[in-house]
Amino acid sequence: MFSYSNRLNFLKQKAFTLIELLVVVAIIGILAAIEVVEDKLIKFEELIYFSKHTVSTVHL
């Protein structure tokens, strides 16, 4: 069957390296940061729309 060294080589081939995990975490962090910025931009645009609507209502 498999010797001990063959088992270790098999396990090493299936594992992720630290660099690969760091790259994945960095990509997820960048995507999360983009989502946060877009969310704040949407809320800011909603605030501007609501403010313009309120001002136009008051002038009527």
The boundaries of the domain holding residue 22 are 14-59
Q: How far is CA 2 from CA 14, 37, 43, in A?
A: 16, 52, 60
Residue 4 within a domain = no
Residue 5 within a domain = no
Residue 7 within a domain = no
What ranges in the chain are assigned the alpha helix state H?
A: 4-14, 18-59
Output the pTM of the full model: 0.55
Mean pLDDT of successive 10-residue segments in the chain (60 residues)? Answer: 63 75 96 92 90 78
Predicted confidence at residue 55, as pLDDT, reads 82
Number of compact structural domains in the chain: 1
Predicted confidence at residue 34, as pLDDT, reads 93
Quick check: 32 and 40 in contact, CB under 8 A? no
Residue 2 within a domain = no
Predicted confidence at residue 60, as pLDDT, reads 57
31-38 contacts, C-beta under 8 A, 24 or more apart: none
Predicted confidence at residue 17, as pLDDT, reads 84
